[in-house]
Structure 1
């Protein structure tokens, strides 16, 4: 397994060396958008490397197709090299920059911050609520807010989510300005629709058609499928939250809601579906060939998936045990996990989504510009 823990200059030089070999060979052209993007190029600056690394979907098709992988003297390991560059790009464009080290030891950073937030939430609840409110069985209307007032719950969630959205948006903007400073406006507008299609469908997790080499040489669509399942489950939980907000503010009905109510049903189905997607992705990470992987990026993936799984499981536990004395502590633990998740999002694997979207937009814009140049002059 490729560690990726080498000095910045060495990693940059290795990435450029590997990509030069790929541009000379181009046997893997058609497997993913990286190869059309490097066709005809012989020099790659840092912004090019960061762009290509995030354009790579880690399908690993090139690893199994390449004739220059170890033990060949060229020792080409494009998936692992781009994974290391990709992870470094998350830190390079991160805001605030003080948190860049979190990408070097993602598990330790995520565990430390989320644990601290959970403990702080539990301490707040224990100090502010009487024992009867915390340890007594209560499933009546407004029971959740007798554990933690709505204003505190909504305020903490809103502030931590706003922090995450702001940090990730600024990082993505910095990344976009670095990788696409000269994209023509017309090409960019024409690229919006095809780029959005690629982003939503995860087309490039198809490895050029047959699928990714998730586990060995055989291709499959598993990773693409599990990604879609996880996102669908997340959409269900998001709709549950929105519906609950409508119940609370529009109808004046406070949580918890009946088991047959729309917010509960959406949350239950969304949570179960989301766990299925998370479990599938973790299974792929466990079974995957380690040689074409970057060890720290794998840890980053697993830490994020496990955290998402814990948030989902804790939410389902609150739902299942809300009429028992355990509800208060379970709710406090769930909220601590949610607040912690929001706070660590800017330096977690979550940033891969907007960074990859930006890379796909540049690739689509370059394709649109190339098509425009090939059109005959009608003047």
Structure 2
């Protein structure tokens, strides 16, 4: 971990702990105010609890030009990004994506798409639909490792994080509480029923919270579509292609729409926001990841709409290339932040449970 980032975040956290004006804003401040002193692990935990809603900054009386020069959202964002880089495995890949995210994502999508086209040129298995371009066995051979290896990498990263923040053995109640908060994304509203000031300091809005929900549930629907199709294929011998009213199609199309719209609107929202209240080093990587995830949804919808035309092989190669890129880069992009935030919420649930037991 970069000690100067930790030291600056600790300085600001100590001032916030003395002030306590933002006590009810989000999960960060109850956790922050529960401590008298902050270890490196405490600062890392606070950083991953923070959703960068920025409500505390706009409410703060100690921001520049005050001599305290507080900018807690930025300080925690920098620690958060640095923690992901330090805990990532292999570590150099995470640092590289944050600085060259757009170039890396684009190069991989094009490269993988060309690979899939080359496989088709060599010859297909003569199956139906998409399997006429790339056999089912070939898809499994390519995407199973591409899905499992990133999960293994994330497991190592999260283990390192858990040790750093002093995590205890997990109980079901902790996980339930964390999933409930994650599902509602209530911390994105900065503790206010009317929302936060992410895109405009003078206007409260729920837009960022709702767009996060669209992206999250869109991704989960797409994942459910693939999972159900797998069960249908191996468990019931029902092979693709599937009809429009089948669960894989209904979940996949609705998920693709949510992903496409949510990611496009999120990029627009980020362009309107103040970059000085986030981590400037993570900006390019954040935008690249959001665009990549949105393109996965958009290319999937395009493939569905034009799947019966002569454009299908090229569209399939592009879509599979974007999906493979997403999985390969998953541990090193902002996709990892969902796992870290959930771990931080579980750790926070443990803190609350310990306080209740002590009381």
Shared fold, TM over 0.5: yes
2:162 matches 1:176? yes
Unaligned stretches of 5+ residues in structure 2: none
Aligned residues of 1:87 and 1:103 also touching (Cα < 8 A):
no
Secondary structure of 1:214's counterpart equals coil
RMSD: 2.3
2:110 matches 1:125? no
Report what 1:196 is aligned to: 179
Secondary structure of 1:213's counterpart equals coil
Report what 2:196 is aligned to: 212
Distance 2:331 2:200 in 1: 32
1:220-244 Cα distance to aligned partner (Å, 9 max, x none): 2222212222222223322322333
Distance 2:296 2:182 in 1: 25
Decide whether aligned partners of structure 1 residues 373 and 252 sit closer, same or farther in structure 2, where only a CA change above 3 A counts: closer
Aligned residues of 1:31 and 1:208 also touching (Cα < 8 A):
yes
Report what 2:290 is aligned to: 305
Report what 1:289 is aligned to: 274
Decide whether aligned partners of structure 1 residues 163 and 28 sit closer, same or farther in structure 2, where only a CA change above 3 A counts: same
Report what 2:45 is aligned to: 51
Larger Rg: 1
Q: How does 1:179-328 map to 2 (within 5 A)?
A: 179-181=165-167, 183=168, 188=171, 190-210=173-193, 211-217=195-201, 218-328=203-313
Distance 1:247 1:360 in 2: 35
Report what 2:130 is aligned to: 144
Task: Give 1:250 deviation, angstroms.
Answer: 4.4
Task: Give 1:353 deviation, angstroms.
Answer: 0.9
Distance 1:322 1:362 in 2: 46
Aligned residues of 1:157 and 1:338 also touching (Cα < 8 A):
no
Report what 1:137 is aligned to: none
Select which of 18, 28, 42 maps to 2:12.
18
Runs of 4+ with >4 A deviation: 187-190
Task: Give 1:247 deviation, angstroms.
Answer: 4.1
Distance 1:50 1:262 in 2: 41
Residues 258-267 or 278-287, more deviating: 258-267
Secondary structure of 1:115's counterpart equals helix
Aligned residues of 2:114 and 2:317 also touching (Cα < 8 A):
no
Q: How many residues align?
A: 356
Distance 1:233 1:40 in 2: 36
How high is the TM-score relative to the length of structure 2? 0.91
2:63 matches 1:77? no
Unaligned stretches of 5+ residues in structure 1: 1-6, 134-140, 375-379
